[in-house]
Amino acid sequence: MARVLVTEKIAEAGLDRLRGLGHDVDVVLGPSPEDLLDVVRGADALIIRSATTVTAEVLRAGEDLKVVGRAGVGLDNVDVDTATKRGVMVVNAPQSNVLSAAEHTVALLLALARNIPQAHAALVQGRWERSRWEGIELSDKVLGVVGLGRIGKLVAQRASAFGMRLVAYDPYLSPDRARQLNVELMELDELVAVADFLTLHVAKTPETIGLVGEELLARAKPGLRVINVARGGIVDEAALAAAIRSGHVGGAAIDVFAAEPTTESPLFGLDEVVVTPHLGASTREAQDKAGDTIAEQVALALAGEFVPFAVNVSAGEASETVRPFLGLAERLGELFSGLCEGVTPVLEVEYQGKLAEADTRILTLSVLKGLFGGSTEEPVSYVNAPQIAEERGVEVRETSLSAAQDFVNLITLRGAGHAIAGTLGGVDGKPRIVNVDGHTVEIPPADHMLVVRNDDRPGMIGLVGQTLGEAGVNIADMHLGRSADGSAAMMVLATGAAVPGDVVERLKAAAGIDSVNAVNRPGA
């Protein structure tokens, strides 16, 4: 029998499941951070929602913890890295609110099209304003979907039933998969220029913060209506409010905000805007599913059985040979995603040296975890990564070569005309990137990196350095590489912060520069 500490309200059916298995369910709702340090002592499992923050200090206090369960999707309130280092499994309920979020999106879509909240408010205040709140039909309108993950796909399916034309921006979705969904893929600028409604279903990353801002809205089709049930901060609320006041944007329906909880936003005073207080997952069914799912996952973890929704993995599940390479494999996936700037129909993962003689399946899962980590609104785990690859139409091919050439062990990723290879080097076994697109380099992976391909001629290093310096971007590390025939050169730089998009564009436009890829670690 294990002690399961529950600090937030969970569906009773889930708790009964744990009790039925003989576990001691200790419900202590809403403890303060100080009290949590006391009540977590002696607990084998901790179940939370979004209000409880599981810090490194909490994990140290809960020295008997085997699993932390988050009854929901996001894990911003759990120190997953510390949990992993301490051997504590972290599990969540990634599919519990998918349907609810999709349905709320459709509800806002309809409310926005027909001005339902505004008309209701006027009528109950004694005003019959039938002509003022005239709406529009959804049939034959263009719905632009940004992000075709599970929620985006459900929204697209439901919008199709209204007779809407579906267009989407998702660089991680293959054209074949888009055709199966009856969705036309296009670039974001092209999408906003043709869409009547824009709905967002992407993760909150450095690249997506402020995605819908002044510049994008200026390029939008006049009268565009914006819907956000994804994450606060993806929409620049001030820029959206200004675009609505100017008449260029027709309206918005917003469920999530940059700061929550909030009772102030530049959007709140506009008649064309519908707002809700982060209700995307607030249905009885979603809450019940989350509680039931997390109870099941915690029970499996306590029993030492396979846990489908584990977002981290015990190092003990990998062999002594493979274990040190888990972090490198995930970083290679993250870097490769940035190189490709989207989907690759075929991902080749090659292992050379001693690694080729080991069971490398968990390394391939780590690669996929890194590859998709910044492209989906749900956390990517070792278990759901293959499913996400299948949904995105990515074929994974794994090969092994026991005979290594330049390194004792080497992991290489190839696809979409790009390749990246890495190994562990030095006495401390630190990760090293040793080849990028056929150019030999040697540089540790960093949170923010820039890959520049240029003509092999004097002045190119100075050009890049001066451009970054003028933009206030510090170069932390740099390595130069040449192609095999010596006709082209490459600079791989580690920077102190993400390189702004306009600086990347400035470099791309410079004479002698062939291409520039900014590769940023999700969440960094």
Active site residues: 231, 260, 278
Contact 375, 172 (CB under 8 A): yes
Sign of CA pseudo-dihedral 326, 327, 332, 338: positive
Q: Tell me how far apart the alpha carbons of residues 506 and 26 are, in angstroms, rounded to a whole number.
A: 58
Give alpha helix (H) positions in 392-473: 460-470
Q: Token pair for residue 88?
A: 């504590």
CA atoms within 13 A on the CB side of 419: 16
Helix%, strand%, coil% for the chain, nearest 5: 35, 25, 40
336: closest CA among 436, 483, 202?
A: 436
The alpha carbon of 152 is separated from its chain's Cα centroid by a whole number of angstroms, namely 13
Give me the torsion for CA of 444, 347, 379, 445, rounded to 10°. 0
Specify the amino acid at residue 479: H
Strand partners, 401: 352
**Among residues 324, 384, 511, which one has the least CA distance to residue 92?**
384
Whether the CB-CB separation of 93 and 72 falls below 8 Å is answered with: yes
Terminal C-alpha separation, the chain: 40
Per residue, what are the HEC states of 283-342? CHHHHHHHHHHHHHHHHHHHCCCCCCCECCCCHHHCCCCCHHHHHHHHHHHHHHHHHHCC
Reported as half-sphere exposure (CB side, CA atoms, 13 A), residue 296 has a value of: 13
Question: Which tokens sit at 5?
Answer: 């500490």
B/e letters for 332-344, b = 16+ CB within 10 Å, e = fewer, are bbbbbbbbbeebb
Bridge partner list, 235: 212
Report yes or no: 274 and 254 within 8 Å, Cβ to Cβ: yes
The three-point CA angle 467-475-414 to 5° equals 95
Give me the count of residues in the chain: 524
Neighbours of 77 (CB within 10 A): 15
Residue 261, preceding peptide bond in cis (omega within 30° of 0) = yes
The separation between CA 6 and the C-alpha centre of its own chain, rounded to angstroms, equals 27
Burial of residue 402 (CB within 10 Å: 0-12, 13-18, 19+) is exposed
